[in-house]
Homo-oligomer: A and B are copies of this chain.
Amino acid sequence: MTTEYGSGAAPAVPPRRLDARLNRERLVAAAREVFAEAGPGASLNEIARRAGVGPGTLYRHFPDRTDLLTAVLRDRIETLCARAEHLLDARDADDALRRWLHDFLDHARANQGMGGALLVETASAAGDPDCRRRIVDAASGLLDRARRDGTARADVTVDDLVHLVVGIALSTTGGERAGPEPPRLLELVLDAVFGGPRPGRGPRPGSPG
């Protein structure tokens, strides 16, 4: 599904050379490793070294750090959006939104919060606006339906939800100190979104899977 270049229009650009494509893959693979080990602030030099290429090669393929980050997370984003579309057909609109937000939380926490960092930092111009766009579109569909067919409050926006989930991801990642379980915090937020906590049921995810 990851079309390397535009699909519809005339490909005035010839396909990239084989070694270039190979190096790109090597870089993404190395980045996946290194980011997972050292977090989103990892040394790009180290990534280039581990990929077996020079720093120049890395920067030619990925001028910005966030470019590399999005490349690493692209699969995950695809999955997330696909799951959103799938959940649009679920019977329970509230539950669909709830489940997807849990998935999104997992995404935002992936690789020491780089998903969240990406979503927030590169939100506007830098990096890949397409990335945020897709997430927001996916969430919009689910939220709209939860408002219509479910019990979601009308005054809560997609932006609210995204920021809250990203916030949970950011504030619970990195610290070696064991904080609250992220899904627990999300459930707490969802209690507000869906009109408050059911009595006798704590902010506990009854396993959304």
Contacts and interface: CB of A to CB of B under 8 A. Distances in A.
Contact of A189 (B166, B189, B197): B189
Contacts of A179: 123, 159, 163
Nearest to A195: B196
A27 B180 CA distance: 36
Number of copies: 2
Interface string A75-118: 00000000000000000000000000000000000000000100
A175 B189 CA distance: 22
A175 B124 contact: yes
Contacts of A120: 170-171, 174-175
Contacts of A153: 197, 202
B180 A171 contact: no
Interface in A175-209: 175-177, 179-180, 184-185, 188-189, 191-193, 195-197, 202-203
Interface of A: 116, 120-121, 123-125, 153, 155-157, 159-160, 163-164, 166-172, 174-177, 179-180, 184-185, 188-189, 191-193, 195-197, 202-203
20 contacts: A116-B171, A120-B170, A120-B174, A120-B175, A121-B175, A123-B177, A124-B176, A125-B176, A155-B202, A155-B203, A163-B172, A164-B167, A164-B168, A164-B188, A166-B167, A167-B167, A167-B168, A167-B172, A170-B170, A192-B197
